[in-house]
Structure 1
């Protein structure tokens, strides 16, 4: 089993974990609660310290910043539309 990289595991992570990582792009040491969620979804080996925290590599940090920049760049260009489950009735 290889050591985990966020790039390889990103799609397996739940949205809450991804959001936390994107909101904390400079965090080198991931809190144990977030680490536990990553370990739960990961298929790779994750090394943790004595406190259950995971240390991110330079590659992981660069990946998170890249993902964050992609998300920021896309915010203005995507038009999200929400629809009700049923269509409103129009008068005859």
Structure 2
């Protein structure tokens, strides 16, 4: 049986799970609550440990890192810059 990869299952996962994964890119062991959500939506087989947690592969970690730095995300140059000082104020 082939093991599931996050890349294969990404579009099936709910937004809350995807956000958690992107917000925690260095997490090698996924907590059981997040693992349960992944299992709920995934079509592939998910290997879990005795605590109901899943271990991410190097491929999964690289994929999450890629998603977190996706070029389709807002680029820094597109974010408006707001100066903290008022025009004419002196500091």
TM-score, length basis structure 2: 0.79
Matches within 5 A, 1:1-92: 1-70=1-70, 74-76=73-75, 77=78
SS in 1 for 2:70: helix
Q: Return the alpha-carbon distance in structure 2 between the equivalents of residues 6 and 35 of structure 1.
A: 11
Query: 1:59: how far off?
Result: 0.1
Query: 1:2: how far off?
Result: 2.0
Q: Return the alpha-carbon distance in structure 1 between the equivalents of residues 62 and 22 of structure 2.
A: 11
Q: Matched residue pairs, number?
A: 77
- Structure 2: unaligned runs, 5 residues or longer: 80-91
Q: Return the alpha-carbon distance in structure 1 between the equivalents of residues 66 and 17 of structure 2.
A: 16
Superposed CA offset, 1:7-37 (max 9, x none): 0000000000000000000000000000000
Q: Return the alpha-carbon distance in structure 1 between the equivalents of residues 31 and 5 of structure 2.
A: 17
Greater than 2 Å deviation, 4+ residue runs = none
Q: Return the alpha-carbon distance in structure 2 between the equivalents of residues 74 and 58 of structure 1.
A: 23
Query: 1:75: how far off?
Result: 1.1
TM-score, length basis structure 1: 0.78
Superposed CA offset, 1:36-74 (max 9, x none): 000011111000000000000000000000000006x62
SS in 2 for 1:9: helix
